[in-house]
Amino acid sequence: MKTAVKVIAINLIGVLIILALYEGFLFALIGHPDLLRKCPMGLRNSIGYLYNNGDRRIIQFSPDCARFDKNLGYTLKPGQCIFSGSEFSNTYWVNSAGLRDDESSLDHPEIIVTGDSFAMGWGVEKEETYAQLLERKTRLRVLNAAISSYGTAREMLALRRIPTDRLRYLIIQYCENDREENLSFYLNGNTLNTMSEDQYLRYASLDARDKSYFPGKYLKMQIEKRVKESRRKKSQTSKPVDLDEVDLFINAITQSGVNLKRVQLIVFVMNGRIADDNRAFPAALKKKIADGNYPDYIRRMIVLDLSDALNESNFYVLDDHMNRSGHEIVVDVLYQTLSR
């Protein structure tokens, strides 16, 4: 009996040592992004999940940088703030419309850049965003109207607050998580239902909670992730919808109430550093607008595939947003497109 207890105790101690070493391994990689860059993509994505969900702050729920908006859920907060992550720290200058741009850019812009955090410039300074780089290259008035986590539906509705009578080009950065918002917009009769102020404050409170490290933090997160994924698979029921992801994207544009008849639309996808995730949607969108019966401004849409232009070095390791070099590559492609 004593021998069995001793064996169990030794095995238990061995398991605890292995778990402690594994936790230390995760902690070391999160604390040293340069070391993580040399690891396989699967491991990098796993570590990125731990950082994004356990350590990272979200700008739209920061009281210094964002505010509640009854129609759009939130916008950036006019004025100045600093937003930081483990790999960057940037100053945000926000105009009266709650956009990361100067006040003069609101005055009848000729080019508008819209999208989510990638287009907004998460992780880079304002002058390093592809919107500002494009303004310098073209010498046209460019407005960066992108805001973190906005889907296509909200991006388009936000344009109704901006004078578009001189708008020549609308550059839309699409992300795969736009689908959920675009679907909600469609199912609600092309009406956008956003969060209430109480919901917004609740999210802000969750983001403000202590994210300090404690022993076992990342191991606990991985276990919780597995449990959530298992429950999601068991309870997941898909509601039949007569539109696919591309249809929902086009619907969000055509039903927005924004007059785009004389505007050239330019669209590209940005889901992060995994190129394969950025290929499928542009191909499907090109096919759809070539075969479908759409307004002229949709059929004239230019769809770009940046998969081969960008590589891993153009993104942060943990945060998975574009760094300065990524924005420089995107603006080169956009400028060449406009020149043609």
pLDDT digits (tens, 9 = 90+) for 86-140: 999 999 999 999 999 999 999 999 999 999 999 999 999 999 999 999 999 999 9
* CA 193 to each of CA 20, 175, 200: distance values in angstroms, whole numbers, following the listed order: 45, 19, 13
CA distance 89 to 237: 41
DSSP string, 160-205: GGS--TT--EEEEEE-TTHHHHHHHHHHTTS------HHHHHHHHH
> Which positions ≥6 away from 30 have C-beta within 8 Å?
36, 47, 50, 51, 55, 86, 218, 318
CB 257 within 8 A of CB 160: yes
Residue at 281: amino acid letter: F
What whole-number distance in Å separates Cα of residue 49 and Cα of residue 45?
6
Q: How far apart are CA 122 and CA 126, in angstroms?
A: 9
Q: In the chain, pLDDT over 70 holds for what percent of residues?
A: 95
Q: pLDDT tens digits, residue range 164-191?
A: 999 999 999 999 999 999 999 999 999 9
Q: What is the pTM of this model?
A: 0.92
Mean pLDDT, the chain, rounded, equals: 92
Domain boundaries defined on the chain: 59-199+240-339
d(CA 184, CA 191): 8
Question: In sequence order, what are the beta bridge partners of 269?
Answer: 174
Q: Which residue numbers in the chain have pLDDT < 70?
A: 1-2, 233-240, 273-277
C-alpha to C-alpha distance for 180 and 174, rounded to whole angstroms? 12
Q: Quick one: pLDDT at residue 41?
A: 81
Report the pLDDT value the prediction gives residue 274, as an integer from 0 to 100: 64
Choose the CATH number for 59-199+240-339 among 1.10.357.10, 3.40.50.2300, 3.40.50.1110, 3.50.30.30.
3.40.50.1110
DSSP letter at 262? T
